[in-house]
Amino acid sequence: MDMRGTRILFFVFWFLGIYAPTLFCANVQYDHRALVIDGKRRVFISGSIHYPRSTPEIWPDLIQKSKDGGLDIIETYVFWNSHEPVRGQYNFEGRNDLVKFVKAVAAAGLYVHLRIGPYACAEWNYGGFPLWLHFIPGIQFRTDNEPFKAEMQRFTAKIVDLMKQESLYASQGGPIILSQIENEYGNIEVHYGGAGKSYVKWAATMATSLDTGVPWVMCQQADAPDPVINTCNGFYCDQFTPNSNAKPKMWTENWTGWFLSFGGSVPFRPVEDLAFSVARFFQRGGTFQNYYMYHGGTNFGRTSGGPFIATSYDYDAPIDEYGIIRQPKWGHLKDLHKAIKLCEEALIATDPTITSPGPNLEVAVYKTEAVCAAFLANVGTASDATVNFNGNSYHLPAWSVSILPDCKNVALNTAKINSASMISSFTTESLKEDIGSLEASTSEWSWISEPVGISKADSFSRVGLLEQINTTADRSDYLWYSISIDNDDTGAQTVLHIESLGHALHAFINGKLAGSHAGNSEKAKLNVDIPITLVAGTNTIDLLSVTVGLQNYGEFFDTWGAGITGPVILKGLKNGSTLDLSSQKWTYQVGLKGEELGPSSGSSGQWNTESTLPKNQPLTWYKTNFDAPSGSNPVAIDFTGMGKGEAWVNGQSIGRYWPTYVSSNAGCTDSCNYRGQYSSSKCHKNCGKPSQTLYHVPRSWLKPNGNTLVLFEERGGDPTQISFATKHIESLCAHVSESHPPPLDLWNSDTEYGRKVGPVLSLKCNDHKQVISTIKFASYGTPLGTCGNFNHGHCSSNKAMSIVQKACIGSSSCNLGVSTDTFGDPCKGVKKSLAVEVTCT
């Protein structure tokens, strides 16, 4: 073979290695303990990443960070409404390129759990169902209904066939080892009666008939028919038991945090509790656990559901919305995964023997003649405890699990974090640096005023008030309701009473905004009284009803509806009379005039640049051009100063913005105690502040210069206050005590291991091009506080700063032994720790 042939062959092998799935395995089965891959039981750590909530350009990085964090599997839903927005017309391009995403996971050497559903929930618009499905005659969603079953089977088979065509199932040598049919149906099945039960059986039979060669699961489905595996979703699943002794104990959604709603504060989940839940699951017989989410991402466009789900879907996940690892969550879970994998041979060999040596204490032992692993748990929420096990004494903090891969040495305790912490922040760049605040010149902005009321040729009239979703088919968030009335009382002061199914509305009287109202995630419906003034003669009432993501969860959620269904009443007219407008003739317009003209791309020729820029005016389109922020850090737009609307960058929607929706002052605390049962309302921050002011703009959507930003502002705002910001790591911290286990990378089964190695504080810059440049804090003794707020306790070694500086300055990483051998003993007889905060540049 000549050199040219050699080069071609090399390129072919390189291409296959990058773009083709690795040959993973040929046979996936299960038994009562675990999934069985090619005849061997496996312990699996999985994490959810939803491909449309990020961009193809960062998929490989997200997947690699997941692998580096100790994951074996990436789990994703399949989003029907993204792939088939019009019946029979498919979209598998860009963020919807499912095949490319699965192949990217394969290229990293990870497996895939494909949750076809095709109902997803996922805080996704309409639960992932396409709106055209709603209009099929005779259809009822998610029950024993022939029209629905036919469409569900057709789409499920479409996805399965697509995966088969690309040889992506494990039975074909691909990465997909599991598929899911339906989703959390057991939570609502009772509402569907016998038809629900028969639907579950049908769905299972339909799925398994598609011959994927891998197991199917149903989550939250206690009556899942064999051979489908029923799995658990929740904050804790250690008490879960599958419905057959022949099925393994699997956890498909361990919620790493919670979703953000417009009008809500920001939820978070302490990593100590998350790690506790995982360790408890494996302690009590689990062998497959998935984080929902491992990377949450962004609800671009109009994909968010709810209603009122925010554009950010960060979820307090180990990898944040912008693709940056969240510390210490990512690192502590990585250590946890290592500790669990050290136990794998014992976990797959036998069932646990579980005993309780005292109140709130539980010991689980996996032991055969060849291997032994133990989990020691203190499920108490108030007091630490001591457990005597195998002749040794072990200290257990409250609400924690210690993992002993050899039944002797503690590899990890879930409440003791060795991993570093990070403080991240956004930096606004000034206009002088090419971008930042656009306040410098209003002439940089152009605008189009959106007409109030009816302005499109496709408007129509009907007697009575129409439900919004049936009218718009979700082609737009907006539906105009318009009516004219005669009044013979000059300057009449009256009240316009409006009842709506939600989600928001703006009332205009004779072209002027009279009032705006919005529901919230707890109550979408509106019941409002708006004071208005009528003129003598004809008055026009224009009501703009707005949806903020369609319902995605609940029984019969597709029938819940939205919009102004009435009554609409004028109260307090002449002589105290009322006028019910509900059954009169109304004129309707679906969507905005601007949406029809297509200004979201910035290409419309109607942009106004000549007169004064209108500010704080409702129903206004704005456009400006900008250069991308310098560097490679993630980019966000700060919409402070704006009201509510949607934004596009170079024609791509970055989502709905709503910086004026402020959360309640109640429900937040300065710190959140990880001990005790977590719930979605337990740990919140950002109370009394806007739910979301910063909105992610993927770097891949930006050009170095000449970018176009277009906004549609609903309520009124000042676009010159908008700024662009980049996210960076401000500080890197760690706080490790003398009682912490040694680093897991150094773990071995030597009984002297702990005493030989001892705890180590490790720091590593997030960017491999950076080095530690500044030591902002260093204290060995009894330091207090958290990252960014450390302070010296009652005793501190005077050598700490110089020792840390010598070990760390100028290096990308450093390791410091946490002991008196390193720092001396500033306070004898006192338990000591080392706290350090650094910056990397």
> Is 414:400 a contact under the CB 8 Å cutoff?
yes
Catalytic residue among 151, 253, 450, 595: 253
Mean pLDDT of 449-456: 97
Task: Report the pLDDT value the prediction gives residue 74, as an integer from 0 to 100.
Answer: 98
Edge-first strand order for the sheet with 412-413 is 353-358, 361-367, 372-378, 400-404, 412-413
Model pTM greater than 0.75?
A: yes
Q: Which two tokens stand for residue 206?
A: 């339909």
Poorest-pLDDT segment among 18-22, 358-362, 391-395, 516-520? 18-22
List C-alpha distances in Å: 336 to 25, 108, 139, 345, 652.
Answer: 26, 21, 47, 16, 39
Q: Is 550 helix (H, G, I), strand (E, B) or coil?
A: coil
Task: Report the pLDDT value the prediction gives residue 116, as an integer from 0 to 100.
Answer: 98
Percentage of residues in the chain having pLDDT higher than 70: 94
Residue 773 pLDDT greater than 50, yes or no: yes
Residue among 461, 381, 449 nearest 677 (CA): 381
If one counts every other C-beta atom within 10 angstroms of the C-beta of residue 380, the result is 19
Task: Report the pLDDT value the prediction gives residue 749, as an integer from 0 to 100.
Answer: 65
Mean pLDDT of 798-813: 97
Q: Which residues partner with 309 through β-bridges?
A: 261
**DSSP line for 34-62:** -EEETTEEE-EEEEEE-GGGS-TTTHHHH
The pLDDT tens digits for 38-95 are 999 999 999 999 999 999 999 999 999 999 999 999 999 999 999 999 999 999 999 9
List C-alpha distances in Å: 608 to 90, 415, 444, 622, 623.
Answer: 37, 59, 11, 9, 10
Residue 709 pLDDT greater than 50, yes or no: yes
Q: Give phi and psi for 359, each to the nearest 5.
A: -60, 130
Task: Report the pLDDT value the prediction gives residue 596, as an integer from 0 to 100.
Answer: 87
Task: Report the pLDDT value the prediction gives residue 6, as an integer from 0 to 100.
Answer: 39
The gap between the terminal CA atoms of the chain, to the nearest Å, is: 50
Calpha distance 831→633 (Å, rounded): 40
Residue 687 pLDDT greater than 60, yes or no: yes
Task: Report the pLDDT value the prediction gives residue 9, as an integer from 0 to 100.
Answer: 38
Mean pLDDT of 168-191: 98
Task: Report the pLDDT value the prediction gives residue 20, as an integer from 0 to 100.
Answer: 44
Mean pLDDT of 763-767: 93
Edge-first strand order for the sheet with 707-713 is 446-449, 620-626, 707-713, 645-649, 652-657
Strands 772-781 and 526-534: unpaired
Strands 288-295 and 353-358: unpaired
> Is 760:815 a contact under the CB 8 Å cutoff?
yes
The pLDDT tens digits for 493-513 are 999 999 999 999 999 999 999
Mean pLDDT of 100-108: 98
Task: Report the pLDDT value the prediction gives residue 25, as an integer from 0 to 100.
Answer: 64
One-letter amino acid for residue 815 of the chain: N
The pLDDT tens digits for 199-231 are 999 999 999 999 999 999 999 999 999 999 999
If one counts every other C-beta atom within 10 angstroms of the C-beta of residue 676, the result is 14
If one counts every other C-beta atom within 10 angstroms of the C-beta of residue 350, the result is 15
Catalytic residue among 184, 362, 429, 714: 184
The pLDDT tens digits for 255-278 are 999 999 999 999 999 999 999 999
Residue 486 pLDDT greater than 80, yes or no: yes
Q: How confident is the model at residue 443 (pLDDT cuts 50, 70, 90)?
A: low
CA 474-475-477 angle, 5° bins: 65
Residue among 634, 638, 658, 636 nearest 646 (CA): 658
The answer, yes or no, to whether the previous bond of 328 is cis (omega within 30 of 0) is yes
In the residue annotation, 57 being an active-site residue is answered as no
Q: How confident is the model at residue 15 (pLDDT cuts 50, 70, 90)?
A: very low
Task: Report the pLDDT value the prediction gives residue 598, as an integer from 0 to 100.
Answer: 77
Instruction: Return all residues near 748 (Cβ < 8 A) that are at least 6 apart.
Output: none
Count, residues in the chain: 841
Average pLDDT, the chain: 93
Mean pLDDT of 670-689: 96
In the residue annotation, 184 being an active-site residue is answered as yes
Calpha distance 470→594 (Å, rounded): 22
Q: Which two tokens stand for residue 516?
A: 């705006």
Q: Give per-residue burial for 579-593: e unless 16+ CB within 10 Å, then b.
A: eebeeeebbbbbbbb
The pLDDT tens digits for 596-612 are 877 777 777 789 988 89
Residue among 583, 592, 601 nearest 458 (CA): 592
Residue among 579, 300, 642, 590 nearest 466 (CA): 590
The pLDDT tens digits for 718-754 are 999 999 999 999 999 999 999 999 999 888 766 555 4
